[in-house]
């Protein structure tokens, strides 16, 4: 009985922590880290400030770090990196991802909020070294995954031999940030779609 009670309590604590993290992600995504409200986070999570500080004793900063590590990082992995790992045709895989997520974010309306990673980078990297290091680590992983995929594409004959994988990877990641930043600033789905298709045309130019 005691072991079962501890197990249930543990699961409850994990569930509360996850609810706080997810609520914090949405609050920071819509209002920025500095503008985000802890009161709104605990209200949305259906918990208390006491529970928040139990899981994140150092408060908002620690919570923000956890959002980057445990929410934004996995979103990046799922959306942009998983399909490129082991890919022999990164051009086709990236074009598919661009068109899929531009379409999804336009349909959901999320395009006007921009990219959560880029939002956090623009707001917090100049202000907090903990944020900067975490965010830069994700960008480095992003570029490396793309560079590895383009190198594999060159070997497989799907990408021009003259392509420099690291340079192309850096450009594509920067372009992605620009596309979602354009959607956020312009609130123009037409302009965002146009920018996405321009990147797809550039990717086509890298074929042998």
Domains and CATH numbers, the chain: 1-57 (1.10.10), 67-204 (1.10.357.10)
CA distance 20 to 15: 9
Q: What's the N-to-C CA distance of the chain in angstroms?
A: 66
Q: What are the residues whose beta carbons fall under 8 Å from the beta carbon of 193, sequence distance 6 or more? A: 102, 106
Say if residues 26 and 44 touch (Cβ distance below 8 Å).
Answer: yes
pLDDT at 137: 96
**Total-model pTM:** 0.87
CA distance 57 to 63: 9
208 residues of the chain, pLDDT tens digit each:
333 333 334 447 788 899 999 999 999 999 999 999 999 999 999 999 999 999 999 899 999 999 999 999 999 999 999 989 888 899 999 999 989 999 999 999 888 888 999 999 999 999 999 999 999 999 999 999 999 999 999 999 999 999 999 999 999 999 999 899 888 999 998 998 999 999 999 999 999 9
């Amino acid at each position: 009985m005691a072991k079962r009670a501890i197990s249930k309590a543990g699961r409850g604590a994990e569930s509360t922590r996850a609810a706080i993290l997810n609520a914090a992600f949405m609050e920071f995504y819509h209002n920025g880290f500095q503008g985000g409200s802890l009161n709104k986070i605990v209200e949305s999570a259906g918990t208390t400030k006491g529970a928040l500080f139990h899981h994140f004793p150092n408060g908002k900063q620690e919570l923000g770090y956890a959002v980057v590590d445990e929410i934004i990082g996995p979103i990046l992995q799922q959306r942009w990196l998983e399909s490129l790992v082991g890919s022999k045709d990164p051009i086709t895989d990236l074009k598919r991802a661009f068109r899929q997520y531009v379409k999804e974010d336009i349909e959901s309306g999320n395009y006007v909020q921009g990219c959560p990673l880029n939002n956090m980078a623009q707001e917090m990297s100049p202000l907090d070294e903990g944020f900067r290091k975490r965010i830069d680590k994700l960008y480095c992983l992003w570029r490396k995954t793309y560079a590895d995929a383009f190198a594999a594409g060159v070997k497989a004959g799907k990408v021009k031999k003259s392509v420099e994988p690291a340079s192309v990877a850096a450009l594509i990641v920067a372009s992605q940030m620009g596309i979602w930043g354009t959607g956020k600033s312009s609130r123009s789905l037409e302009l965002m779609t146009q920018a996405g298709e321009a990147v797809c045309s550039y990717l086509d130019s890298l074929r042998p």
